[in-house]
Amino acid sequence: MTQSASPSAVELEVFRHLFTAIAEEMGAALRRAAFSPNIKERRDYSCALFDSAGIAVAVGDHMPVHLGAMPMSVEAALSALGTLAPGDIACLNDPFQGGTHLPDVTLVSAVHTPEGALLGYVASRAHHSDVGGSTPGSMPLAREIYEEGLRIPPVRLYREGVRNEDLWRTVLANVRTPRERAGDLDAQLAALNTGAKRLLEIAARRGTDATLAAMRGLIAYADRLVAAGLDRVPDGLYRAEDSLEDDGFGTGSIPIRAELTVSGSTLTIDFTGSSPQVPGGVNAVAAITASAARYVVRCVVEALIGEALPAGGGSMTGVRLVLPPASVVNAAPPAAVAAGNVETSQRITDVLLRAFGEALPDLIPALSQGTMNNTTVGGVDPRTGDAFAYYETMGGGMGAGPSGEGLSGVHVHMSNSLNTPIEALEHAYPLRVTRYEIRRGSGGAGRHRGGDGLRRDLMVLGPARVALLSERRAVAPKGARGGHDGAVGENVLIRAGVEEPLPSKATFSVDAGDVVSIRSPGGGGWGPPGRPEP
């Protein structure tokens, strides 16, 4: 096949599965080699394959919040460093240069054939459970990004196969758990090596020109599917608004507004009117907003056309974002952004789903829990004398939809991670899970009932610092089409059997025997309760 030839439909489908398998195998390699429970148990990572222009060809079915941000990381690395030579590996976590929040560290490398042709790029991103900052776990209640941890602009961690030892030592000197961080970074390198090896095998077996043509073909095919899906959305102007409850510093309700303009196969999403950036860390950078928009558009398009998009999702050239500068959806330095990735991404998703619900009321589900219930605990492990940093998000209720009830106790929308099994958690950390159950009845009533939230109680075995970043503690997830709202979540500190309510965002100290109880929201119901199926 020549450089200009286009692959047939059959060839394109074969390549589609080959490229998707690369991203999935990269994720499996990362998971198996990782040190931290956050990566090997919760699977808080993403791996992806990009073409030579940095456009996503295949993104593993990992974390939706990374969908739009991973391409921006590759773009930032290439913009800052120029062409990556064989053996070069770029490293970055700067939210204002393609990152999301500081714990998410991204590694990028180029894949060249033995003849020197650039096939594309592979990237791995993983949430590291500590990257320094004012509190263990690097998810503090902060006013500036400098409090949230070590900020790494796009730099070369490896140059022509040789590790930058000065950079390596600097990174490990600024984290509380250097051995675990080194192990997880090595696991990310293993993922890159796996992806590069598999891509080279494909090119050797099927030809470099055919491989490059298939990448271009899949991106173009995905764009055609997106255009076909958007063409099925009625033309018009659709608006929605929702709010973050607080930023942890008394700012109060923080509105997020979106206006969708649908015209044929094009879509403009305008966030004008959303709140300016705030002191607390709920500010989302542009990469996060792009990820949420890409996720929602993909969900709507796939539901309308009844077909899954290729794993890269296409270039989304038909979707235009308007992001007001220095806002809660497009933060500027030195804004704190740790919760923007995990909480504001969920609220942006809610707003966009509600806006699409104006256009497609019988397709869009009720709102899900709308939070990741972020919990970090850190200090010195009394069993070993070593520092530890535990981080976890927690599932909740999924919103019900026109086709059935919402699931209970699951991660939803921008979070696709798992829970840390109790055995693994108690083995790795000085914590005990004293209660873990579904919050029965917390899902909203409806023709289809919303899913229920969870309750998880963690007892600390020694003095520690705790940071909580959560939402939907005051305003419940909305039902749809007459369905009832889900129940709000709760954060509670239990000392000597006495319960003390906690705010949605807080950093505080605990003593041995104290219990931190996280109770996640339920999902909204769909359709009027008691109404029979049509």
pLDDT surpasses 90 at 532: no
- H/E run at residue 200: helix 178-206
DSSP state of 469: E
Cβ 181 vs Cβ 128: under 8 Å:
yes
Residues 6+ apart with CB under 8 A from 26: 47, 48, 49, 60, 122, 124, 191, 192, 194, 195
The SS3 assignment for 367 reads coil
Cβ 22 vs Cβ 195: under 8 Å:
yes
Q: Give pLDDT, residue 286.
A: 96
List, for residues 248-284, the tens digit of each pLDDT value.
999 999 999 999 999 999 999 999 999 999 999 999 9
pLDDT surpasses 60 at 124: yes
Domain endpoint, select from 190, 224, 258: 224
| β-pairing verdict for 254-263 and 236-244 | antiparallel
pLDDT surpasses 90 at 175: yes
Question: What mean pLDDT comes out for the span 183-199?
Answer: 98
The SS3 assignment for 223 reads helix
The answer to the question of residue 379 being in a domain is: yes
List, for residues 483-520, the tens digit of each pLDDT value.
999 999 999 999 999 999 999 999 999 999 999 999 99
pLDDT surpasses 50 at 2: no
Q: 């998009």: which residue's tokens?
A: 309
- The distance between the two most distant Cα atoms of the chain, rounded to a whole number of Å, is 74
List, for residues 412-455, the tens digit of each pLDDT value.
999 888 899 999 999 999 999 999 999 999 999 999 999 999 99
DSSP state of 146: G
Beta bridge partners of residue 321, listed in sequence order: 269
The answer to the question of residue 176 being in a domain is: yes
The SS3 assignment for 157 reads strand
pLDDT band at 60 (very low <50, low <70, confident <90, very high): confident
pLDDT surpasses 60 at 403: yes
Q: Give pLDDT, residue 5.
A: 67
Compute the 3-state secondary structure of the chain and give helix, strand, coil in percent, each to the nearest 5.
30, 25, 45
- H/E run at residue 219: helix 208-230
Residues 6+ apart with CB under 8 A from 347: 242, 243, 244, 256, 370, 471
Q: 């990009």: which residue's tokens?
A: 50
Q: Give pLDDT, residue 254.
A: 98
The answer to the question of residue 216 being in a domain is: yes
Q: Give pLDDT, residue 533.
A: 61
pLDDT band at 6 (very low <50, low <70, confident <90, very high): confident
The answer to the question of residue 295 being in a domain is: no
DSSP state of 151: -
Cβ 153 vs Cβ 80: under 8 Å:
yes
Q: Give pLDDT, residue 209.
A: 96
Which amino acid would we find at residue 54?
G
pLDDT surpasses 90 at 28: yes
Q: Give pLDDT, residue 1.
A: 39
The answer to the question of residue 293 being in a domain is: no
- What is the three-state SS of 9-51? HHHHHHHHHHHHHHHHHHHHHHHHHCCCHHHHCCCCEEEEEEC
List, for residues 285-339, the tens digit of each pLDDT value.
999 999 999 999 999 999 999 999 998 888 899 999 999 999 999 999 999 999 9
**In terms of residue numbers, what domain contains 80?**
9-224
Calculate ∠ Cα 362-316-77, nearest 5°.
135
Question: What mean pLDDT comes out for the span 58-76?
Answer: 83
The answer to the question of residue 416 being in a domain is: yes
Q: Give pLDDT, residue 3.
A: 45
Percent of the chain with pLDDT over 70: 98
The answer to the question of residue 497 being in a domain is: yes
Rounded Cα distance between 188 and 181, Å, is 11
Average pLDDT, the chain: 95
Beta bridge partners of residue 335, listed in sequence order: 144
Question: What mean pLDDT comes out for the span 461-484?
Answer: 97
Q: Between 263 and 6, whose confidence is greater?
A: 263
Domain endpoint, select from 208, 224, 240: 224
- H/E run at residue 499: strand 498-502
The answer to the question of residue 313 being in a domain is: no
Domain endpoint, select from 198, 224, 250: 224
Number of domains, the chain? 2
